[in-house]
Amino acid sequence: MNESRLVDREAPIGIFDSGVGGLTVLKEIFKILPFENGVYFGDVGRTPYGGRSKDIITEFTRQDIAFLIEQKVKFIVCACNTASSVALEDIKKDYDIDMIGVIEPGARAAAERTKSGKIGIIGTHATINSNAYAKYIHEIDPDLKVFSLACPLFVPLAEEGYIDKEATYYIAVDYLQTMKDVEVDTLVLGCTHYPLLKHVIGDVMGDDVLLIDSGEETARAARDILSESNLMNPSASQTPCPEGEQKYFVSDVPERFSGVASRFLGREVSRITRVDISRY
């Protein structure tokens, strides 16, 4: 193994999202790849992507990726469901670097675990309109029945910390009744904000419905790809295994950012640098 190869393997993983939501994916990556270095970019200056057009989402996603590549990352995780479903496939072709989105791992897990063959997908307007989850699921098994539903208010509710409130329960009942009516046995949380409302969504759907967290599945898929491509950080084999270094970049630092970010990540978010992303 030559030196340049070693440098490659120690390079950070690049993770980006339209804002803070991707921190729930990073949280899962920390759990199973704690030794990896990471660069997180959150486009909080232009968040949310979920209600925007394909053109704008593609333009923003290209800039996010260009920034991470400048940071010399070895692998890119698109932790945003909206960008993954609308823009990533087109952009991927233009680069040599491995990239993974959150759709395929979530779709695969749902297809493998459903018993009744009825899968529900919830996400932003853009994710649902793209039909990306259904397309992946049908590539795996065309006989599976997929029901998709936009639940846009779950994003601001999660960001505002409206987790255990009566209003959130009423909105969840409102949104999810059709999923109960069609009797899905598996529901994909197709937006990185939704794991914060997992408890409420689970209560409404009932114990018999399996909730798939796309972020969790994506972290597992990232581990498999790094392992297969021999890109895992060599420090992984050290005992004790040292923890990787994490850097955070954002396109804006609003007053309430670090509080919201820490709630999403489940640990303190430090070393935050602001980037002028429109220049990429």
Among 254, 266, 267, 270, binds a second copy (CB under 8 A): 254
Question: In angstroms, what is the minimal distance from the CB of 124 to a second copy?
Answer: 11
- Give the position of tokens 């999660």: 158
In the complex with a second copy, the residue whose CB is nearer, 12 or 123, is: 123
Strands 99-101 and 75-78: parallel
- The verdict on 117 binding a second copy (CB under 8 A) reads no
- Report the distance separating Cα 80 and Cα 175, nearest Å: 21
As a dihedral over the C-alpha atoms of residue 79, residue 145, residue 177, residue 163, rounded to 10 degrees, the angle is: -20
**DSSP element (H, E) containing 76:** strand 75-78
Token pair recorded at residue 81: 């469901």
In the complex with a second copy, the residue whose CB is nearer, 235 or 262, is: 262
In the complex with a second copy, the residue whose CB is nearer, 94 or 255, is: 255
- Give the position of tokens 């009423």: 170
Q: What type of residue sits at position 220?
A: R
Q: Which stretch binds a second copy (CB under 8 A): 66-74, 124-132, 138-146, 188-196?
A: 124-132
- Report the distance separating Cα 253 and Cα 270, nearest Å: 12
151 assigned to active site: no
> Which of 78, 151, 191, 241 is an active site residue?
191
Question: In angstroms, what is the minimal distance from the CB of 44 to a second copy?
Answer: 8
In the complex with a second copy, the residue whose CB is nearer, 55 or 112, is: 55
Cβ-based neighbours of 230, under 8 Å, separated by 6 or more: 9
Asked if residues 91 and 30 have their Cβ atoms less than 8 Å apart, the reply is no
Among 242, 253, 259, 267, binds a second copy (CB under 8 A): 253
- The verdict on 178 binding a second copy (CB under 8 A) reads no
Q: Which stretch binds a second copy (CB under 8 A): 26-34, 49-57, 96-104, 212-220?
A: 49-57
Binding site for a second copy (CB under 8 A): 44-46, 51-53, 55-56, 125-126, 129, 152-153, 155-157, 160, 162, 165-168, 170-171, 174, 251-256, 278
